[in-house]
Amino acid sequence: MKLNNMRFNFSKLNQPIGIYEVKSVTENGIPQKPKPVLYLECFAHVETVSLKDYETSIQTGTQHNIKVFIRNYPGITNKMTIKDTVNSQSYNIKQVLYDYRQSGFTVLIAEDVSRS
């Protein structure tokens, strides 16, 4: 299945992830520390830097970035985090490309939390 010159299909969305939003909560009128609250659970396709682009990514400082492909979902911002439910790895969203190339997918560019 080819979507507007983008070689990608929905069958690649096979990795479960959770997208979390940090919200401050009040209990009995007392403000608490901000806590991550689940915003969306979905299946995604996650891509890391390819070997042929690794040297270039080191020079630009993006070797720890990932691309996460999900179905279009409104309201995702760069102030949210992604948690890979299989590897228990967390990523900070740096950029959101909504409806990338009119394909029906949103691409999230994220950085490993331990590296940021």
- Main-chain phi, psi angles of 54, to 5 degrees: -65, -45
What per-residue confidence (pLDDT) applies to 6? 53
In the chain the domains, ranked by start, together with CATH numbers, are 10-115 (2.40.10.270)
Strand bridging mode 105-112 / 15-23: unpaired
Query: Token digits for 11?
Result: 């069958």
What per-residue confidence (pLDDT) applies to 7? 60
User: Cα(46)–Cα(27) distance, rounded to whole angstroms?
Assistant: 37
Contacts of 59 (CB under 8 A, 6+ apart): none
What per-residue confidence (pLDDT) applies to 115? 64
For residue 112, count CB atoms less than 10 angstroms from its CB and return exposed for 0-12, middle for 13-18, buried for 19 or more: middle
Mean pLDDT, residues 64-85 taken together: 90
What per-residue confidence (pLDDT) applies to 90? 92
Against a cut of 0.95, is the pTM above it? no
Give the number of other CB atoms < 10 A from CB of residue 3: 15
Range scoring the smallest mean pLDDT among 2-6, 30-34, 40-44, 94-98: 2-6
